[in-house]
């Protein structure tokens, strides 16, 4: 290895990214990804026998681009190999690619996995009769590097959001209906608005999952979203309060890099319960949500997370915003309920980044509600003693 290449390697960072080996004519002959760029590129030269083909002697220059994490580097590697077709890369030169989650433009959207969604459909296409007949893709999300993880994500969320997966609507309910894994649009075609609401909730969860999977997106590709978490706290039915916490992504005002889902404490709000007597968490949540939605100056959330189980969802009845309820189990698990199924998604069976985010939102709304309730208790005690 000559001094020029040694200097190029030493100038590399230990961060994730994609590297390019070029020949004397500046053509890219090999593309690779790395969790640690300097370490991985050095390894090529220290262990040349690891390669099936001897191309190390052809390397005249080295270039690279940074990625925010190893998953992002994997996806970039695939894209550059497809585009540049380097001579010494074997994988990803054909039309194979990572998985995408696709939703069709039909009245009752089909949800499916695809390497290459069959059609990118804009809003006008989605409304067309032809698109409905063809099952054109309305939205696609991804790519996702881990096929196993994305399949697990869809399998588990389907328990709480029983979407349709069949290519053509059958005349009779299928096996998934008996398992509670399909909303049976073939049978209940008049329930379109309910199905559309369910798909909207699923899309929101997919966007959050997609963003947690590959963080650090550009502004153009970023899934900007706002999640609001709610909880109620009281002392034996007295001094009841409600909390609203906010987690956002894609907000340059406070997030350091797109893909960073963070609590925005400037947006937190607390509520004294005014209309509910005694201990009634559902009615108290309802009051908080109705009062919150009257504030048109506050940005609307993409997702509402309620602390509680299935019954807490009654508090959000009629609200046209995706909503889930989280019943926590211990420190690391919980049950995720939606208004669209009697079943629930097990938090521990979802991707860890996603389940950890839900737990963080729930814990923060719980903490904020309790802290406000304690403050009210303290103020009342001081008032009584004064």
> What's the CATH code of the domain at 51?
3.40.1440.10
What is the distance in angstroms between the CA of the first residue and the CA of the last residue of the chain? 82
In-domain check, residue 220: no
The stretch 163-179 carries a mean pLDDT of: 85
Q: Does one domain contain both 135 and 257?
A: no
In-domain check, residue 183: no
Residues 142, 98 contacting (CB under 8 angstroms): yes
pLDDT in tens, 308-346: 999 999 999 999 999 999 999 988 899 999 999 999 999
In-domain check, residue 10: yes
Domain boundary among 32, 55, 84: 84
Q: Does one domain contain both 351 and 298?
A: yes
Residues 230, 365 contacting (CB under 8 angstroms): yes
Q: How confident is the model at residue 250 (pLDDT cuts 50, 70, 90)?
A: low
Cα distance between residue 101 and residue 114, in whole Å: 6
pLDDT in tens, 105-119: 888 899 999 876 654
Say how many domains are in the chain.
Answer: 3
pLDDT at position 96, please? 61
Listed range (2-11, 182-191, 259-268) with the worst mean pLDDT: 182-191
pLDDT at position 298, please? 96
Q: Does one domain contain both 33 and 137?
A: no
Residue found under tokens 């067309």: 128
Q: Does one domain contain both 61 and 131?
A: no
Cα distance between residue 110 and residue 21, in whole Å: 43
- Best CA proximity match to 361, nearest among 304, 293, 295: 304
Q: How confident is the model at residue 240 (pLDDT cuts 50, 70, 90)?
A: very high
The stretch 280-297 carries a mean pLDDT of: 96
Q: Does one domain contain both 102 and 237?
A: no
Q: Does one domain contain both 123 and 25?
A: no
- Best CA proximity match to 301, nearest among 269, 347, 341: 269
pLDDT at position 354, please? 92
The dihedrals phi and psi of 102, each to the nearest 5 degrees, come to -120, 145
Residues 68, 257 contacting (CB under 8 angstroms): yes
Domain range spanning residue 365?
225-385
- What's the mean pLDDT when you consider all of the chain? 85
> What's the CATH code of the domain at 279?
3.30.420.340
Cα distance between residue 308 and residue 354, in whole Å: 18
In-domain check, residue 31: yes
pLDDT surpasses 50 at 133: no
Q: Does one domain contain both 11 and 104?
A: no
Q: Does one domain contain both 121 and 263?
A: no
In-domain check, residue 33: yes
The two three-digit tokens of residue 2, written as one number: 């000559």
Q: Which residues contact 37 (CB under 8 A, 6 or more apart)?
A: 12, 13, 14, 15, 16, 17, 19, 64, 66
Q: Does one domain contain both 364 and 312?
A: yes
Domain boundary among 84, 108, 123: 84
pLDDT surpasses 60 at 259: no
Cα distance between residue 46 and residue 110, in whole Å: 50
Q: Does one domain contain both 68 and 106?
A: no
Q: Does one domain contain both 328 and 253?
A: yes
Q: Does one domain contain both 137 and 41?
A: no
Record the pTM.
0.77
In-domain check, residue 44: yes
In-domain check, residue 165: no
pLDDT in tens, 68-86: 888 888 888 888 888 888 9
Domain boundary among 84, 107, 126: 84
Listed range (49-63, 89-103, 168-182, 199-213) with the worst mean pLDDT: 89-103
In-domain check, residue 199: no
Residues 6, 46 contacting (CB under 8 angstroms): no
């Amino acid at each position: 290895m000559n001094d020029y290449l040694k200097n190029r390697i030493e100038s590399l960072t230990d961060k994730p990214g994609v590297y390019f080996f070029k020949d004397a004519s500046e053509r890219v002959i090999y593309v690779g990804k790395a969790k640690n760029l300097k370490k991985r590129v050095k390894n090529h030269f220290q262990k040349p026998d690891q390669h099936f083909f001897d191309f190390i002697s052809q390397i005249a220059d080295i270039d690279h681009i940074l990625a925010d994490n190893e998953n992002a580097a994997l996806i970039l590697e695939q894209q550059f190999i497809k585009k540049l077709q380097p001579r010494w890369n074997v994988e990803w030169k054909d039309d194979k690619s990572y998985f995408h989650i696709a939703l069709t433009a039909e009245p009752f959207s089909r949800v499916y996995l695809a390497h290459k969604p069959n059609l990118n459909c804009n809003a006008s296409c989605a409304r067309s009769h032809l698109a409905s007949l063809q099952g054109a893709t309305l939205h696609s999300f991804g790519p996702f590097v881990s096929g196993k993880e994305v399949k697990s994500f869809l399998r588990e969320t389907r328990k709480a959001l029983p979407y349709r997966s069949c290519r053509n609507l059958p005349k009779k309910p299928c096996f998934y209906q008996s398992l509670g894994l399909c909303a049976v649009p073939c049978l209940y075609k008049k329930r379109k608005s309910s199905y559309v609401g369910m798909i909207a909730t699923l899309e929101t969860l997919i966007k959050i999952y997609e963003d947690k999977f590959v963080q650090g997106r550009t502004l153009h590709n970023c899934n900007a979203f706002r999640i609001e978490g709610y909880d109620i706290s009281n002392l034996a039915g007295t001094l009841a309060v409600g909390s609203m916490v906010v987690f956002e992504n894609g907000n340059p005002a406070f997030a350091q890099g797109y893909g960073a889902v963070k609590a925005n404490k400037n947006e937190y709000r607390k509520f004294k319960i005014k209309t509910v007597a005694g201990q009634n968490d559902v009615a108290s949540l309802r009051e908080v949500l109705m009062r919150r939605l009257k504030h048109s100056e506050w940005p609307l959330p993409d997702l509402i997370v309620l602390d509680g189980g299935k019954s807490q969802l009654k508090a959000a009845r009629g609200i046209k915003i995706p909503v889930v309820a989280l019943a926590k189990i211990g420190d690391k698990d919980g049950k995720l309920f939606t208004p669209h199924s009697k079943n629930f998604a097990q938090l521990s069976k979802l991707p860890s980044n996603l389940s950890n985010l839900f737990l963080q939102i729930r814990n923060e709304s719980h903490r904020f509600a309790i802290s406000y309730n304690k403050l009210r208790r303290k103020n009342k005690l001081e008032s009584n003693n004064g």
